[in-house]
Structure 1
Amino acid sequence: MTGLFDLLVHPALWLSLALALLYAALFHAWQGRTLAGLGWFALASLAGFAAGQLAGAALHFPALGQVQIVAGTLGAASALTLVRARLHKA
């Protein structure tokens, strides 16, 4: 149980979540149309940041503590762009 608690209070997790959600909010302010779009952007940004985090860690990119800022940002931006293209097609 303490392992889960340690994960939930880890600063790297909160920094990653904050950055991903900030990216989603900024992207929605720039490109968004609906409140549902904000939800899709938030999910895409979280998933993209997580994928970038994993890729950056696997490739040993420089990090801020344990957070792969550059790789996570690139992952979030890619995911946001893909979701935007999909939402604009529909």
Structure 2
Amino acid sequence: MSSVRIQVINPNTSLAMTETIGAAARAVAAPGTEILAVCPRAGVPSIEGHFDEAIAAVGVLEQIRAGREQGVDGHVIACFGDPGLLAARELARGR
């Protein structure tokens, strides 16, 4: 049985937060699930409002594109506001 690869995207640029999110996801992932915790290289250090969310959405989409190129099976946006969710769905589905 091949493993399932899930890309968990932290929309802000905090590497420490990304590592924490990745560890939490790995702790509850089913056996055979590979968790790839990532964050944008550029963007906002934290998401405090609508402006930050709009900036973060670009980084989320870049990570979705990179994940598709790496052959991941699914994506999770690890943020309360789901920045860029609708556009991310389109991109993940290949539209």
TM-score by length of 1: 0.31
Higher relative helix content: 1
- The higher radius of gyration belongs to 1
Higher relative strand content: 2
Structure of greater relative contact order (alpha carbons < 8 Å, 6+ residues apart):
2
